[in-house]
Chain A
């Protein structure tokens, strides 16, 4: 008797009944697709990034195009959402601001994710005093009220950053509004990483005691490969959830900074800055303008939260 027959299997017939081929990520997508709020969120998010990429084609005017003939105009064929006190097209500014939001959200999230993954993986895998050092540093950052700390960083690094940019010979850049983007990205990124580091560390602490990690060690898989092939891919699901919810938070934080005047400076387009600008109109006949950037912000932040919830359910099916 062959080993297979003795073991009670007939390999020739086994496996003839296949269920539809699906990878793990395929399963996730399948579950996510049935979650309506998450799909609506995904569409809104897609629309926002699409708008951001094709802003020059979508927006009828430049974001800083001043048309003094048409100041404070109501909605018309030329100006879909009317104009502000400088005659700038509100619709165009909303569209261009999507570009600011998209740029800031992607760079801040990547920055935070890189720092968080690096420190979290180091702390979780090495443990000991490295872990203690990194986590206590994170705790110190956590101890400050989040936004206040962002204001503090944004306000303190800006003069230094401008001086530095000038010093390395980029005078043009120093004078342009792009330095504001750098300030916002650095401030939000520095404050954002401890949460992710903590998450990834916690994941690694629980994962590194799993049998399949032990199995990899027993097999003689090198440490870096265990990290990349075994630990990080399995630590990803909660990170994906946290990041998708977090992007909405980053966009909101950028808007907050710009609203308070320490983020993106005029004439850079930002929904937060627009809120601040239109805030002054609320007693005038232009008051409806206030609701336009507000509605866009609410829709986008909600979209990211719905997507985050949907991903959470799709990646952890036992939650249902």
Chain B
């Protein structure tokens, strides 16, 4: 891809977790294929929504992109540099430009550090300010930016509500002025009323600091609200990727269609006519995915070819990508 607006380019990313057996000598008996060859790119300033059900590999994708897990295969180009090739200090320095917001605001803040220390740690380890006073000032500014009282610096995480904690997590991610943030289900652990606040905050911050998001979620209406483009993931692979409105109005992959048919419509007349597509069976194990198309075991429109040939993930025109033999 030659578009120099591309901030992140993921090519054939694979993340396998080995299954081992044996007490002393660990024999390698198989792999959990959490992410099995996915490719996509994110433009500068864009939000790419990544949806899929629990266990499909969304979070693993986010972590593999940030090299929190070292990918088994593929490449992650961030502003032209292949992150999978970076190691040690070079990678550590690169982390200043990419951050992460976590799902569980109760687990993602160190309970033994004050809010001030949590937010200033990224500043310290990247030597962004010379003096403690400068850092302190920046921390207070960040607290203000995320809508918290700057006087909270000396408090501990347990003194805050879930929504407030998530704001602290956002402030920590923002501290080093990153360009790219992986939002790993940042609202799924919050109350609905708080979800809206955090979503608004993320949108405002994106506009203010020209941030690029990979927004991982399983709530389809939230993803529709915040994303520019949406990718649908199933069992470690991308099923479909398109512009937000295109995907929601014209879903092509049978899995996307089934997923979207589950979203309730807030209009009783239309809701009455909504046809749900109920999928049969369970998601196969990622340790032993089906041959051919990985959705072939549950697809309502399955054909013979689906069970033998893995469909290619290709552009059907207008940047609408789908992996399905129907098209």
Q: Which residues of A from 185 to 215 have beta carbons under 8 Å from B? A: 210-212, 214-215
- The distance from the CB of A216 to the nearest CB of chain B, in whole angstroms, is 7
Chain A residues closer than 8 Å to B159, beta-carbon distance: 19
Interface flags, A67-107, vs B, CB<8A=1, else 0: 00000000000000000000000000000000000000000
A225 touches B125 (CB 8 A): yes
Interface flags, A225-237, vs B, CB<8A=1, else 0: 1000110011000
With A211-B102, A214-B63, A234-B110 already in contact, the answer to whether A24 and B93 are too (CB < 8 A) is no
Chain A residues closer than 8 Å to B154, beta-carbon distance: 21
- The distance from the CB of B83 to the nearest CB of chain A, in whole angstroms, is 12
The stretch of A5-13, A52-60, A110-118 that contacts the partner chain: A5-13
A160 contacts the other chain (CB 8 A): no
Q: Which residues of B from 88 to 142 have beta carbons under 8 Å from A? A: 92-96, 98-100, 102-104, 107-113, 121-122, 125-126
The stretch of B44-52, B200-208, B227-235, B254-262 that contacts the partner chain: B200-208
In the complex the two chains form, what is the Cα distance from A153 to B115 in whole Å?
Answer: 49
With A3-B204, A220-B126 already in contact, the answer to whether A215 and B100 are too (CB < 8 A) is yes
A132 contacts the other chain (CB 8 A): yes
A216 touches B121 (CB 8 A): yes
Chain A residues closer than 8 Å to B208, beta-carbon distance: 3
B327 contacts the other chain (CB 8 A): no
A11 touches B148 (CB 8 A): yes
Nearest chain B residue, comparing its CB with the CB of A237: B112
- The distance from the CB of A204 to the nearest CB of chain B, in whole angstroms, is 14
B80 contacts the other chain (CB 8 A): no
A3 touches B205 (CB 8 A): yes
Chain B residues closer than 8 Å to A7, beta-carbon distance: 147, 197-198, 200-201, 204
Contact of A234 among B104, B112, B122, B125 (CB under 8 A): B112
Nearest chain A residue, comparing its CB with the CB of B154: A21
Nearest chain A residue, comparing its CB with the CB of B149: A15
Chain A residues closer than 8 Å to B102, beta-carbon distance: 211, 214-215
A219 touches B156 (CB 8 A): no
B172 contacts the other chain (CB 8 A): yes
In the complex the two chains form, what is the Cα distance from A217 to B172 in whole Å?
Answer: 13
A212 touches B108 (CB 8 A): yes
With A3-B208, A220-B95 already in contact, the answer to whether A215 and B108 are too (CB < 8 A) is yes
B152 contacts the other chain (CB 8 A): yes
Interface flags, A11-38, vs B, CB<8A=1, else 0: 1001100010101100000000000000
- The distance from the CB of B241 to the nearest CB of chain A, in whole angstroms, is 25
Nearest chain A residue, comparing its CB with the CB of B113: A229
A211 touches B147 (CB 8 A): no
A221 touches B125 (CB 8 A): yes
In the complex the two chains form, what is the Cα distance from A39 to B109 in whole Å?
Answer: 32
In the complex the two chains form, what is the Cα distance from A14 to B163 in whole Å?
Answer: 14
Contact of B68 among A218, A230, A234 (CB under 8 A): A218
In the complex the two chains form, what is the Cα distance from A220 to B127 in whole Å?
Answer: 11
A176 contacts the other chain (CB 8 A): no
- The distance from the CB of A289 to the nearest CB of chain B, in whole angstroms, is 49
- The distance from the CB of A217 to the nearest CB of chain B, in whole angstroms, is 6
With A215-B172, A219-B172, A221-B121 already in contact, the answer to whether A9 and B111 are too (CB < 8 A) is no
Known: A9-B148, A21-B154, A218-B66. 19 other contacts (CB 8 A): A3-B201, A3-B208, A4-B147, A6-B204, A24-B158, A210-B107, A211-B104, A211-B108, A212-B107, A212-B108, A214-B63, A215-B172, A216-B110, A216-B121, A220-B92, A225-B125, A229-B110, A229-B121, A233-B112
Across the A-B interface, the 7 shortest Cβ-Cβ residue pairs: A220-B95, A15-B149, A211-B108, A211-B107, A4-B147, A3-B204, A218-B100
Residues of A within 8 A of B (CB): 3-4, 6-9, 11, 14-15, 19, 21, 23-24, 132, 210-212, 214-222, 225, 229-230, 233-234
Residues of B within 8 A of A (CB): 24, 63, 66, 68, 92-96, 98-100, 102-104, 107-113, 121-122, 125-126, 144-145, 147-152, 154, 156, 158-159, 169, 172, 176, 197-198, 200-201, 204-205, 208
